[in-house]
Amino acid sequence: MSVALDAVNAPARVRLAARVLGWPFAWLGYRGDPSLPPVTRAITALGPAYIKFGQILSTRPDVVGVELANQLTMLQDRLPPFPLATARQIIADELHQPVEATFDEFSEAVAAASIAQVHRARRIDNGQEVAVKVLRPGIERAFSQDIDAFHFAASMIETISPSSRRLRPRDVVLHFESVVNGELDLRLEAASASKFAENTKSDEGMRVPKPHWHLGARRVLTCDWAEGLPLGDVEALKAAGHDTEALGQRILQLFLSHALRDGFFHADMHQGNLKVAENGDIIIYDFGIMGEIDEYTRRVYAEILMGFIQRDYERVARVHFEAGYVPRDRDMNEFARALRAVGEPIFGADASRISMANLLAYLFEVTERFGMATRTELILLQRTMVVVEGVARSLDPQINMWQVARPVVESYIRDSIGPRAMARDLVRTAGVYARFAPLIPEFLERRMPALLRGEDAAPQPRKRRLDPASLLTGAAIALGAALIGVWIG
């Protein structure tokens, strides 16, 4: 733990507290694989939810350092696999027929991550090569234990440090839990892959493996085999003649296009989920974690990006206040100056000399100073932006994110915020009005007399009164549920 906190330049008091509080419990920890480096060993021993955090760190050598980031890359797709016989049994149970009846070739695991592992196979009916993804046995219980620990930790954090409540740790854990639950059902991943492929079918320079619906179930997913070089192997990409700078730009622009244009984006875009085909197409796969943002949030996000691109910090500040991201009792001009201190050092600077660790630390200071609460609806977007920018930097250390983002953001603003968008919004509003127009006369006749008399026409909800018996019953149910949970566990 101390190594990781030192790497991300955590505040000194946090590092000291971790060492002091962690020492008495060190003997309770899992041993892990002694052949792995200390941090990687600790993360893999802790469990799958912690591995997700390690995957994010692995994409940011500019934050945690090159050595630690390289150690953590194995968390992306090179974890120890579970036995082949177990995978075959899971497939047989889920598809209700033996593997031999479905595939005439079925390999050992070619990739293994925290949730599942992937096998290369060939369909027996048409000879097509496919990738078969199988959930790890017992993964639901392992994640449940991790989530319980997170919930307990979040409650303790809010109790010990009231100032942390603006970060909404409990809500963040609930959000993470909902994301993970979706990832544990591979039928939902197949649906996400299908929707993503449909949205991006006209996008040049990328490819999405399509699911084979009749060969999938809750714990098994079969999709097209994706042949290509791993995006994380930069030297191999260069040796094959690929333009890594162009690949870095395309990764950023694809992500922004999907987030802004579609409001539906891949939210786990680390190198382990990306390949480069022989013709240079970027192959995107593993759709267990997807992000969705509504149209209003997309417009706010685009306005903020455009403000930074144009170095118009007053515009960025105004959008934050209008969207409610900053409490209205704070000074907008002061917030704009703080944003200038964030943005100006980046523009025109050599990317290799920009300390992302220091920048992130300062951003955290800004959010604390201006009382900015965590927005759970933006967590996946912000997290993915950090990961994607890290992936792009690994391909081109000198990449200028703002310059690359500009054409995508300008195109979205032109199509979604300009005059044409206003006309489209008016037509949509008129359509909604037309649907409810027949109900308006009755509504006014029923409500207006009371409103004219100064009365509140809306019925007031009756307050619930909990008697002691109800409280005792609730406590008994909670205690019974806890005992059952202990017994089952």
| Residue 352, both tokens | 């290799």
Contacts of 138 (CB under 8 A, 6+ apart): none
Indicate the burial class of 314 (C-beta count within 10 angstroms; 0-12, 13-18, 19 or more).
middle
For this structure, is 268 an active site residue?
yes
Residue found under tokens 């392992």:
142
| Residue 270, both tokens | 């680390």
The angle formed by the CA atoms of residues 468, 473 and 479, to the nearest 5 degrees, is 125
DSSP states of 320-342 as a string?
HHHTTSS-TTS-HHHHHHHHHHH
How far are the Cα atoms of 138, 199, 278, 370, 466 from residue 283, in angstroms, in the given order? 30, 15, 10, 41, 57
Instruction: Give the active site residue among 268, 415, 456, 467.
Output: 268
What is the maximal distance between C-alpha atoms in the chain? 80
C-alpha to C-alpha distance for 414 and 429, rounded to whole angstroms: 20
Q: Which of 120, 284, 267, 299 is nearest to 183 (CA)?
A: 267
| Residue 303, both tokens | 């306005």
Ramachandran angles phi, psi of 419, nearest 5°: -55, -40
Residue 242 CB coordination number (10 Å): 20
Query: Do the Cβ atoms of 402 and 347 come closer than 8 Å?
Result: yes
Instruction: Compute the chain's Rg from CA coordinates.
Output: 26
Contacts of 288 (CB under 8 A, 6+ apart): 115, 182, 183, 186, 189, 192, 268
| Residue 330, both tokens | 């704070």
C-alpha to C-alpha distance for 310 and 295, rounded to whole angstroms: 22
Q: Which of 82, 267, 288 is nearest to 181 (CA)?
A: 288
Active site residue ranges: 268
